[in-house]
Amino acid sequence: MSSYKLLFVCLGNICRSPSAENIMNHLVEQAGLSDSIICDSAGTSSYHLGSPPDRRMAVAAKGRGIILKGRARQFQKSDFEEFDLILAMDRENYQDILRLDSGMNYLDKVRLMCEFASHHSEQEVPDPYYGGSEGFNRVIDLLLDACDGLLQQVIKTEDLKGRL
């Protein structure tokens, strides 16, 4: 039985996408599905390659009991094949990802993260990079909601296929 692979994508891979990756890993571990669901994150730009998650984002996540791990990497065309679902944090990230899919072969794999939120009405995960601490806390809360909804969706749909 192969693992279900999720890739979270934002611009620089130091704020939103590593937060989503680590929140999802936390929820997956709590659900006892660490062997079945694998998470990673990437950025559409090369601005922060090799950098750890943003310190301010790490503080906001730690306040919710989540430790941010990982190093920034850039999204690659090979990620389309490697991952079952690619989750863009905003519409610009979504379009940047799809630009790399010239044949539009992977359109069904790319979704907006906020599609899975049930308690927040935002359509996009805002980039908190240039704002204050309230922006980072808001992003963590939004991602906790969206990741919970995403996990429930993956469990529901993948369980039907016998993958989990």
* Residues acting as catalytic residues: 10, 16, 127
Q: What is the widest separation between alpha-carbon atoms in the chain?
A: 44
Of 11, 90, 19, nearest in space to 54 by CA? 19
The identity of residue 35, as a single letter, is D
Of 156, 146, 151, nearest in space to 30 by CA? 151
- CA distance linking residue 143 with residue 147, whole number of Å: 6
Tokens of 133: 């601490």
